[in-house]
Chains A and B, each alone.
Chain A
């Protein structure tokens, strides 16, 4: 009889322990999901009062999809949620500025080609420039070979064509006037 009681009490304790474990797990999961959600709210505030409500509405919807996609994997959910929300915190001011339609800061007029990084290949008097990052104004950019050659010469150390093939990364701002 005592053995029967012992088994019964053991089963009850096991069931209670399992239920408590589930509750703690659910509690922890819910709390962890709140961390990225809180960060998204912070990101929306950083974007500015006039756009924060719409952005929060949008980002919460996306965060929900991200967290749902990683269902039943608490660490993965937390990791993906944190990546999404921390990225937004960093980018939120830029998003706010863009949505308020502030023009992109520019150092020149709108009719210039601005290259931040370019590969310059020079062979004799033949100069070829390949831009990796560039910005254009509203007009189509038409840079003639002569324009490019002139511009590159301005930044070369000698200003004279060299007799052998040269290639280097041009890593500053190259401003090229274009047709107006």
Chain B
């Protein structure tokens, strides 16, 4: 199992969708609509997360003949993936949050502003 997930903003955006609603199964097309990412960008991310064990892919349990349509695959975030995603998103948030402004060392004479 590959533990190394390259954390980019695109990966974070996909993970955000799963973290917001961890129990909600997500389809590829739904994720494309929610994130705005095209298939060529989304599916490699899903594959990496799946290979890392962060996402689990399941085939819909329908008979294509009866349903009149092909079965779809949905993705769910795993417990391990949820914990890792929350940690990585927190790190990313920390990285992107502007640092507090430093007070200038220059003071008017007398030390009052």
Interface residues of A (CB under 8 A from B): 57-62, 64-66, 68, 83-88, 90-91, 94-96, 98-104, 106, 110, 123, 126, 128, 130-138, 140-141
Query: Is A101 touching B39 in the complex (CB atoms < 8 A)?
Result: no
How many A-B residue contacts, CB cutoff 8 Å? 100
> Contacts of A134 on B, CB cut-off 8 Å?
7-8, 95
> Contacts of B107 on A, CB cut-off 8 Å?
none
Query: Is B43 touching A88 in the complex (CB atoms < 8 A)?
Result: yes
From known contacts A62-B72, A87-B40, A128-B99, infer whether A98 and B47 are also in contact, taking CB-CB under 8 Å.
yes
> Contacts of A123 on B, CB cut-off 8 Å?
102
Complexed CA–CA distance, A133 and B28 (Å)? 24
| Sampled A-B contacts (20; CB under 8 Å) | A57-B73, A62-B28, A62-B29, A64-B70, A65-B72, A68-B69, A84-B38, A85-B39, A88-B39, A88-B40, A95-B43, A98-B51, A99-B47, A102-B2, A128-B99, A133-B8, A135-B8, A136-B88, A137-B4, A140-B87
The 3 closest A-B pairs by CB, nearest first: A87-B40, A98-B47, A87-B39
> Contacts of A106 on B, CB cut-off 8 Å?
4
Complexed CA–CA distance, A88 and B70 (Å)? 18
Complexed CA–CA distance, A103 and B59 (Å)? 25
Query: Is A91 touching B73 in the complex (CB atoms < 8 A)?
Result: no
From known contacts A130-B95, A130-B96, infer whether A91 and B6 are also in contact, taking CB-CB under 8 Å.
no
Contact of B39 among A65, A91, A110, A135 (CB under 8 A): A91
> Contacts of A133 on B, CB cut-off 8 Å?
8-9
Query: Is B29 touching A65 in the complex (CB atoms < 8 A)?
Result: yes
Complexed CA–CA distance, A131 and B88 (Å)? 14
